[in-house]
Amino acid sequence: MKDRISNTNVMSGSHFMQGNMACAEGAIAAGCTFMAGYPITPASEISERLAARLPALRDVDGVFIQMEDEISSLAAVIGASWTGAKAITATSGPGISLMLEHVGYAVGTETPCVIINVQRGGPTTGIPSVELQGDVVQAGRGSHGEYRSIAIAPSSPQEMFDHTVLAFNLAERFRTPVFVLADAFIGHMRETVVIPPADEIKTVDRVIAPDGFNSETDQGFLSEDVAPMPLFGRGFKTHVTSSCHTETGKRNVTDAFALDNFIRKLAGKIDSHRDEIVLVDDKTEGAKIALYAYGTVYRAAVAAVDAAREQGLSVGTFRPITLWPLPDEEIAEMSKHVDAILVLENNLGQMLPYVKAAAECPVHFLEPETLGTLHSIDRIIAKVKEISA
């Protein structure tokens, strides 16, 4: 399998495209050559698209494998990544729950990969066809232990393309799994998606260990916060284990100091680069009330702002594009120049405690009248008036 895809594989141009299809095309544009997955509504179209596209890519031996379940799907993705492939899987709530052990494994072994979660109603098998932003905290804290996660939330089919490319770039840059937290509405929505020419799409490739690299003797390796990756099948002497290990991969499961170093190194490469990772869209300048919303709900917030301003209400939007790492510094800064924040989520308030902890102004919450549906403009405006009174 080759490391890079050919530019001829990118479907440049303007398309009327479903969000899940745009996600698949974003993966190809980012350089993805491997997908393993298992069918699940509302994410199956991503697998279907890549099952057709990957093996047919020009100049690339792209691979799609339907596995027996979601557990084996992420295991296959991790294995493919260690051969040098940019690898992806896509699923929804119950599938993510099954993958969580391997999420922790990928974090601990510093394996770059992309995990698409097209969220649906839960818990348990829930309802496949109804959107719910129910997996938000799971993406940041789902696996056991102490670690850092990266998760981004698209709000349109265009961003399903753009943010999938971004997810691959972050995964490759920081050698870590990256979540794209989509949802059933965005996944199945059709809008215009503009795919740039291939040479205008910014892609990032992981740093691969040079020939002759030996993790046990190359001392320069020890100082890197994101180490070069010694790939399988290329003659490197390396050891890969999910157990606590040193920078050289040597297993150590008896020493608290080793555990401290292990965790701090994994967390530190994210924490020390949080300004490079975290993205927000802050449109609260001059506003008294900030609507905090992400994903599909952000679209309702934008519509509500337009309607509220027609009624003379001073309202703006604050959208966290990156949900993890938490944009706490950006929330704090925004909260200094608004009177209040109104959090809008299609759940019972998963991000609400985090916003309250970061903000320096009062924080309010409005859930949908019916979970699994978008907030109505009238209810948002009524809540804004209540807060402003």
- Residue ranges and CATH numbers for the domains of the chain are 7-200 (3.40.50.970), 219-274 (no CATH), 281-388 (3.40.50.920)
Give dist(CA 153, CA 299) in Å, integer.
Answer: 12
Give dist(CA 92, CA 45) in Å, integer.
Answer: 12
In the numeric block, which tokens belong to residue 252?
């150590």
pLDDT given at position 61: 80
pLDDT given at position 246: 81
pLDDT band (50, 70, 90) for residue 3: very low
Angle between helices 256-271 and 93-108 (to 10 degrees): 110
pLDDT band (50, 70, 90) for residue 223: low
Answer with the residue of higher pLDDT: 381 or 228.
381
Measured distance between the N- and C-terminal CA atoms of the chain, rounded to whole angstroms: 63
> Average of pLDDT values for 137-142?
96
- pTM recorded for the entire structure: 0.95
Mean pLDDT of the chain: 93
Helix then strand count (H, E) for the chain reads 13, 14
pLDDT given at position 2: 44
pLDDT given at position 39: 95
Amino acid at 348: L
pLDDT given at position 222: 55
* Cα 387 → chain centroid: 32
Q: What's 118's DSSP letter? A: E
Give dist(CA 373, CA 133) in Å, integer.
Answer: 10
Among 28-42, 250-264, 287-301, whose mean pLDDT is lowest? Answer: 250-264
Closest CA to 142 of 119, 160, 170, 175: 119
> Average of pLDDT values for 143-169?
97
Answer with the residue of higher pLDDT: 354 or 254.
354
pLDDT given at position 157: 98
Give dist(CA 298, CA 163) in Å, integer.
Answer: 16
> Average of pLDDT values for 141-157?
96
Q: Please, what's the b/e burial string for 163-174 (b: 16 or more CB within 10 A of its CB; e: otherwise)?
A: bbbbbbbbbbbb
pLDDT at residue 221 is higher than 80: no
**pLDDT (tens digit per residue) in 70-127:** 999 999 999 999 999 999 999 999 999 999 999 999 999 999 999 999 999 999 999 9
pLDDT given at position 217: 67
Residues near 116 by Cβ (< 8 Å), separated by ≥ 6? 23, 43, 46, 88, 89, 90, 91, 164, 179, 180, 182
pLDDT given at position 106: 97
pLDDT band (50, 70, 90) for residue 21: very high
pLDDT given at position 1: 39
pLDDT at residue 224 is higher than 90: no
- Is residue 131 within 8 Å of 158, Cβ to Cβ? no
Report the percentage of the chain scoring pLDDT > 90: 83
pLDDT given at position 358: 98
pLDDT band (50, 70, 90) for residue 135: very high
Highest mean pLDDT among 4-13, 237-246, 345-354: 345-354
pLDDT band (50, 70, 90) for residue 388: very high
Rounded to 5 degrees, what angle do the CA atoms 8, 183, 280 make?
A: 80
Rounded to 5 degrees, what angle do the CA atoms 239, 240, 246 make?
A: 75
**pLDDT (tens digit per residue) in 171-209:** 999 999 999 999 999 999 999 999 999 999 999 999 998
pLDDT at residue 385 is higher than 60: yes
pLDDT at residue 58 is higher than 80: no
Strands 13-18 and 280-283: unpaired
pLDDT given at position 366: 97
> Average of pLDDT values for 319-345?
98
pLDDT given at position 8: 74
